[in-house]
Structure 1
């Protein structure tokens, strides 16, 4: 039987790499996108195999999540993998407390923490039937408290704590892990200031940034290789917390 994987935020660079990796390894992949249908179509057209699908989803919309459950259930009543990759942030200097207003703070937590929980809750039955695995994409910022803004760092720390809580609550039927990338060399990051990117590389012991494929490999390892692991965070950060 072909295994089914659901990836939220699958039209972005990192999400697309995860979808590609899973499809290459025999998964039937369905993924969500927020607004960029063109990007979603491109990802979908490049996936190996057949039967894949893309669905528009606002992860903050409870009714939309219920609709997604119905759409996925029409494909299968078993969900083997759920990857919570959808996320959001905005650059606000950590010293600019006024710049991090309440609305932005709340939305970051809603997208990065509440939404992954809502997806797990919504698909619990399908995941249990499949003895499935949940992978939450977090960040090195959960450990270093260095990132795009204070709320983002805190939200990723909360997501890792939630990963451990869910792993305990859903055992033994469902494994729950987190994958925590360092700065990933996406197309967006490649377009940033070269000097800044060089500084980030040099502050990492392995002297480079993470590749999207390396993060996708870690997700696949969590789902299909590390089958006796749950509640853990897999770091893909080049040793960044160790310093240079």
Structure 2
């Protein structure tokens, strides 16, 4: 039986060009650093509001030997997305890896249906789901040419009845299903997968309010988790790297929660 192969598929990280949306903070920052430590020498990171953090991350990437392009881009804007990918293409001439990490949320108790306004729905879906699709669409031709890979960042909220809001949970469920259908739509040249983190130690926890500190919440969740700890951003980045490497995995979601989901 003759096996089909992609003759232009990315062969190593050193020749690859990567783009990480929301690449200056949290999981995006950890992933950008992991890619460069793995050998990527051409990387674009985007930000919407965290300019100072993005510049600090860019300096770290530069110190590791990468050529870095920092772009301000609101993924809700088709114009911003087009400009970002044009800039990346003009600077690096190719794209092999797309990490869709940019996201947002507004904290609304799940029982507070009236508090979930149209504005929150629009902001959440336009950023987390429509914006992600637009990035995949803008990158598709370059990724097909290089035989590249997409990894989307979803959330356990997309699989369980939890989350910072109903809109956030629905947006992340959409990311998981979008990953599956894009894996079919972009095959065989491009592989599309997603990571599904549980609790991750980032500044999103304290931004949720309610007087709960990151440390307190992490202790509570870890106590109910088989591996007895919660994820760091670097743990998620490590799985993202694995999905970029895996040549025969596409359309899959990988849960990163220390086994907590096994005990529900």
User: What range is the shorter-chain TM-score in?
Assistant: over 0.9
- Note the 1:109-124 alignment, pairs <5 A: 109-124=125-140
Deviations 1:209-237 (A, max 9, x none): 1111110001100101x211000011111
Equivalent residue of 1:123, what SS? Answer: helix
Aligned CA RMSD, in angstroms, stands at 1.5
Shift of 1:202: 1.7
State the Cα distance separating 1:93 from its structure 2 match: 0.7
Partner of 1:148: 164
2:255 alignment counterpart: 235
For structure 2, list consecutive stretches of 5 or more residues without a partner in the other structure.
1-13
* Distance apart, 1:65 and its partner CA: 1.1
For residue 242 of structure 1, report the CA deviation from its aligned partner.
1.5
Equivalent residue number for residue 13 of structure 1? 26
- The correspondence for 1:75, drawn from 78, 83, 91, is 91
Structure 1 residue 187: Cα displacement: 4.3
CA contact (8 A) 2:201 2:218 kept: no
Partner of 2:234: 213
Q: Which residue of 1 aligns with 2:6?
A: none
TM-score of the superposed pair, with normalisation by structure 2? 0.88
Determine if contact 1:18/1:213 at 8 Å carries over to the other structure: yes
TM-score normalised to the size of structure 1? 0.95
The answer as to whether partners of 1:179 and 1:215 remain within 8 angstroms in 2 is: yes
Taking the TM superposition and a 5 Å limit, the aligned residue runs for 1:41-60 are 41-47=55-61, 48-60=64-76
Q: Give the drift of 1:190.
A: 7.0
Deviation, structure 1 residue 207: 1.8
CA drift of 1:135 comes to 0.5
